[in-house]
């Protein structure tokens, strides 16, 4: 049973690790597991993944048990934003009447980075002398 719990805990940690600005209405960008409650729950979860005391383990299990799996393309309303201790952007949002939290990229499309400006490289050919 301990291995099953550890496996579930590792799967949840990996899901959250794979899960950046906040606006009012968006759609789910991909299917993922979101934790119940406000951003504080996601921050607490991330900070206590390595906790071994009974109270923390019980709270981690409760959050994992009550998670939801929003479907891609479903509209959501962002209600709160924050960051984890590691600097990961987090969002709380309303989905089917429930307040859930997850990494922001799950409900906000990633902002593309601008392409780097090309730098001219020096010509390898010698230039002809000017007459």
Report how far residue 46's alpha carbon sits from residue 41's, in angstroms, rounded to the nearest whole number: 9
Tokens coding 63: 């959050």
Low-confidence ranges of the chain (pLDDT < 70): 1-26, 29-31, 109-131
Question: What pLDDT does residue 123 have?
Answer: 59
CB 90 within 8 A of CB 81: yes
Q: Where are the beta strands (DSSP E) in the chain?
A: 25-27, 35-36, 75-83, 89-95, 98-103
* pLDDT recorded at residue 15: 46
Neighbours of 15 (CB within 10 A): 19
75-83: strand order across its sheet: 25-27, 75-83, 89-95, 98-103, 35-36
């Amino acid at each position: 049973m301990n291995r099953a719990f550890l496996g579930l805990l590792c799967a949840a940690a990996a899901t959250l690790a794979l899960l950046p600005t906040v606006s009012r209405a968006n759609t789910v960008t991909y299917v993922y597991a979101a934790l119940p409650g406000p951003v504080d729950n996601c921050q607490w979860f991330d900070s206590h993944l390595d906790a071994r005391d009974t109270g923390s383990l019980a709270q981690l299990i409760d959050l994992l048990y009550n998670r939801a799996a929003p479907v891609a393309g479903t509209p959501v309303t962002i209600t709160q934003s924050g960051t984890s201790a590691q600097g990961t952007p987090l969002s709380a949002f309303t989905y089917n009447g429930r307040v859930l939290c997850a990494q922001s990229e799950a409900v906000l499309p990633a902002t593309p980075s601008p392409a780097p400006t090309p730098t001219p490289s020096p010509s390898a050919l010698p230039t002809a002398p000017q007459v």
